[in-house]
Structure 1
Amino acid sequence: MKERSFLSIKMILVLSLFVSLLAGCGAPNIKDTYPLESVNRDGNATSYVYRAADKSVPEVAGELMAANTPDQSSPEDTERMFLVYGDEYYHLQQDPQKPTDTLIEIDSKEYVQRNYDSSFLRGYLTAVLIGNLFDSMGGGGGYRGYTSKDVYKPKQGNYKKPTSQDKKIAPPLTVDRSGKITRRGQDAVGTGGSLFKRNPTSSGDRGSIKRGESGGGLFDSPKKSYTKPKTRIGSGGISRRGRR
């Protein structure tokens, strides 16, 4: 009787473990990682393109905005959206070759200034932001995004497949469901700042100048290493030599 009870308990435990494993297979991933697909960079003017497979433009925009609120975002659109994080411009575009995918183009401020057509951006960004980007002469070029680069070409170079060095500079873009967006050496988005801006550590104490402590500081009090000279008082006199 005891053996049957023990066998029944054992079977229940095995079945419970099997069911839990099956349930885990269908659990959603806690974060999505988008691979780096194309690069165009020249100094501070950089453009990195990532692919979000089987995700629409509004879906990707929603994930990014849920992870960190942008400084500015364009109205929801199924083909194209802009999100601005500090000096980083996220240009989300539906891939015309594969409409089920979204291309995430991340452009630096310098890249936007050199290449984009300001009249094109007026449909997505505020006039104040565009005015800060471009002077009264208009935009820096006729570029309108990665998906139309063959028609509206950037003034700066050409896009190419990322090299190993490019991947070190800009590793895959990770959107963590816990509220972080990381890229380039696992940097996290700061509030109100650039997505890839590193925050210096502040754990150390700041330098200071202290007086009166031993150790030979620049402003230490002078050491009294001398002694007062001794004087001897005698009964000195003045005498004249006798005349010869």
Structure 2
Amino acid sequence: MKRLTWQAWVALALVFSLLAGCSNASSYVSDHYPLVDIQGKGQDSSKIYLVEDQDVPTTAKELADKEKPEEVSKESKDSMFLAYSDKIIQVQQDPADSANSLVEVSTLTYAKSHYNSSFLEGYLTASLLHSLFGGTGGSWMSNGTNTYRGFSSLPDSKTKTQAYESSKKDTPATKSGTGFFSSKGKAKTEITDKSDTPKSSGTWSTKSYSKKSDGSSPTFKTKIPKTKKSFGSFKRRR
């Protein structure tokens, strides 16, 4: 087996170091943070992730370390931008909890057609935006009338925190000692036990009900099994 020369070992070490240093910010975000919303679809889309207990500057630096941007905006606790050749990443403070950050990863098509151009130029240089979005003389700024300034600017935007709080309100309340068991039919069986201590016996009743179309409470009727009377005479054989 032929041994590698020292030049070959150096070349391999350089390749491995480059591979180790190369990382995609989009993949890192999707692998480490929960997705809370998607705007648009396909090549004209934006994905929003929630970073809990981490402020905007810390999150922006973390992403820049994973993939070096072509340009990063100045440090801010409210909003920061990282510009790449294939995407625009905005890190913004979570409106539901200032301790959290929202990471919005947008395609260039989405950023160009949705973001307010003047707003973007407040964070990134005009020359970079022109090179990313194409056009000269400010032609890409045809979207200047747009008001979009990031996911947090949407009036109906919801974060994971807000969704969790909403889900708690929808949780049904239960009471100790009572409950209902229903089968696939119309019959409903009720168990009643007013004490908190389990008992070996209880009261069981089987009832049927008729559902009213006006939304009022159903009417319960107790079913009593019917019996037939027998008539006839009996003779004894001798």
Q: Which TM-score applies when normalising by structure 2?
A: 0.48
Q: Say which structure is richer in helix.
A: 2
Structure of larger gyration radius: 1
Which one scores higher on RCO, CA 8 angstroms, separation ≥ 6?
Answer: 1
Q: Which TM-score applies when normalising by structure 1?
A: 0.47
